[in-house]
Amino acid sequence: MTGPVLLLVCLLLIGLSFWQLQHGLRKAQTDRVLERLGNGQPEAQEPSTRWTGLERMFVRAGLVKPTDRLGLWLSAWVIGALLGWLLADGLGLLAMIVGPPLVLRVYISWRYQRRVQRMVEQLPQLLDHSVRSLKSGRTLADAVLGGVESIENPLKDAMGRVQRNVRMGVSLPDSVSDFAEFYEQDEFRLFALGLKVNHRYGGNASELLENLIKMIREREQGARQLKAMTGETRMTAYVLGGLPVLIVGYFMVVNPGYLMTMWNDGTGRIMLFTALGMDLGGTFIMWRMLRSV
């Protein structure tokens, strides 16, 4: 039975490779034409679909939309599930069905946190450039949009959302507010709130931005001090959470029969699942405790 399944997997891979090649060539030609036609034109808002939440996660993490390569992802997932079933029967099938989405979710969350942290670090640079532009006589909107061109990625790429909305006729405060809610970061929300207050009530915009720069830098310094003070606690949580996994891996390498004897016994299997649940529950509790610090 293994031979026909492997042959089917090979045929699927060959067919998928030809489809991806044809799709990539056609899409590259279409993108080049659309880029020439839409050069300098405002980008239209994309309609909401059932994939909007998933696309939002990918875009916030700086990845391409999953719907662009949905066939490739689903085919790889199905092939991985088949290989898991061939190598480890039902357990391998379950692991390959549950494992990849879970790993992908953790990776997207980690990448999003790193990207947002880098964007927050770049925000004072954007605000400082905007302040200098304001003092040279430019308007607030021109100063902020001009500051976007002077910074580097990832903030420049993310602020393209603001530039696109402004080109479509949305006011700068509303565009920045939409950007802040999209990335769900307090620093961006304060930036948007400051622009809204200045737009509605007026005032010295350069002084407002300077105070915002000072506040963001003080907050970043406080966060670094807190991280240094809680380093021992975080390391303890990492060790306690990873120690059971390392012990299981050690037994699987040195004496696999020890755990397989428990796995083949009904009571032993219940004990292993109970231990896994307790480890996951304890890790989640420690993670929540660290998040609250």
For residue range 177-190, list pLDDT tens digits in order: 889 888 888 888 88
Closest CA to 128 of 217, 223, 221, 219: 217
pLDDT for the residue numbered 38: 44
CB 86 within 8 A of CB 5: yes
pLDDT for the residue numbered 289: 74
Helix, strand, coil tally for the chain in percent (to 5): 85, 0, 15
Q: Write out pLDDT tens, residues 110-141.
A: 898 899 989 988 888 888 888 888 888 888 88
How many Cα atoms are found within 13 Å in the side-chain-facing hemisphere of 123?
A: 29
Closest CA to 104 of 54, 53, 51, 154: 54
User: Quick one: average pLDDT of 12-28?
Assistant: 58
Mean pLDDT of the chain: 77
Q: Write out pLDDT tens, residues 60-105.
A: 888 777 666 666 777 777 787 778 777 777 777 777 788 888 888 8
Q: How many helices (H) and strands (E) does the chain have?
A: 11, 0
Look up residue 206 and give its amino acid: S
Is pLDDT above 70 for 50? Answer: no
Q: Spell out the domain ranges in the chain.
A: 116-212, 229-292
Please state the pTM of the whole predicted model: 0.65
Which 8-state DSSP code applies to residue 43? P
Residues 6+ apart with CB under 8 A from 55: 65, 66, 67
